[in-house]
Structure 1
């Protein structure tokens, strides 16, 4: 019997259905990272995830619904990784280790695909208000991780107590995102390294040059 085309909610998913849904979303995320949202069709996702079109429509009523699920998945992955890295940072040396890991990871593909969240934001923010709010929440969460770093540096006396950590954190997110874009365009992570280094150098200057100088 033909499966219903009506999307089902997460609460109604069986274990098998949950696995199918996860496979669809993961396959869509991989495709959209390489091809972009606009360059990925539902037929592409059906083929890559090895499901039938009726199965896909059972979980997602249309492409925007699938894109929102991809944003949720990519956002969870991105914020989890950044949380694990940034919550360990308490010194300028730790901040540089975070910087090195970020650049090294992006160099694996010569910066080719940029930031997954940034790429999604560029493609869907003007087309889907729900997706835009999802992305805004994720970038806010990322900024808050930087704010945590800056507050710990303040507590250690490495950043002036009157420094505006909110604005500085916004600057770090902007440096990272701008760096991703420049690296993607140049197919070279050097511009990204420069952008992030400038953000760290600015922070070091605020600290009055205390501690080990940035590279």
Structure 2
């Protein structure tokens, strides 16, 4: 069985795909905790037990690895958000979504922030391809929030004249800003407050 690397177009055996996936997953964990700039290729090799020849078989450069990490983290986050938001159709459901994110971040006392946001802050100004990929991933995330708000609007919960796309952008901004404040303070309270204020604004636009 052969697979195709979505970045290089190179055909991979099942074993090769497994090796590549292991390298990307380990690199993602290291970059989340240590930061992108502080994570070296040698760090990744040590964590995975891979050789340099294996690494460069799958990645032309460290930058190629970072782009693969962006894809990996993005798809992981989006899979979580699709599951969390896919069936939300009430304001109470949005509150439960908020609670789950805050409680998950509280387990780390706010440390490290949003995995996708952390990548955006480090690579967007240095790698335009990675920046464009991150922009698309955030657009998909906002789209999931907008879909929830459209369902609320269709059910008559939100006023018909409100812009769900603008509300979704504001909610995403509150979420990401909350992650950053929680990271700086090692306390999720600012994150909870930021999202609560965004949700309170949405609730103020209720049609009832």
* Alignment correspondent of 2:174: 175
* Alignment correspondent of 1:41: 40
Q: SS of 2:89's equivalent?
A: coil
Q: How many Å separate the matches in 1 of 2:89 and 2:108?
A: 29
User: How much has 1:83 moved relative to structure 2?
Assistant: 0.9
Q: Which runs of 5+ in 1 are unaligned?
A: 1-7, 211-215
* Alignment correspondent of 1:188: 187
Counterpart mapping for 1:48-63 below 5 A: 48-63=47-62
Q: How many Å separate the matches in 2 of 1:206 and 1:169?
A: 13
User: How much has 1:88 moved relative to structure 2?
Assistant: 1.6
Q: How many Å separate the matches in 2 of 1:10 and 1:189?
A: 42
* Alignment correspondent of 1:139: 138
Q: How many Å separate the matches in 2 of 1:175 and 1:32?
A: 24
User: How much has 1:32 moved relative to structure 2?
Assistant: 0.2
Q: How many Å separate the matches in 2 of 1:125 and 1:9?
A: 21
Q: SS of 1:13's equivalent?
A: strand
Q: How many Å separate the matches in 2 of 1:205 and 1:30?
A: 39
* Alignment correspondent of 1:100: 99
TM-score (norm 1): 0.92
Q: Which runs of 5+ in 2 are unaligned?
A: 1-6
* Alignment correspondent of 1:213: none
- Give the length in aligned residue pairs: 202
* Alignment correspondent of 2:204: 205
Counterpart mapping for 1:109-120 below 5 A: 109-120=108-119
Q: How many Å separate the matches in 2 of 1:147 and 1:173?
A: 10
Matched, 1:12 2:8: no
Note the aligned Cα RMSD (angstroms): 1.1
Q: How many Å separate the matches in 1 of 2:156 and 2:167?
A: 16
* Alignment correspondent of 1:27: 26
* Alignment correspondent of 2:4: none
User: How much has 1:25 moved relative to structure 2?
Assistant: 0.2
User: How much has 1:9 moved relative to structure 2?
Assistant: 3.9
* Alignment correspondent of 2:3: none
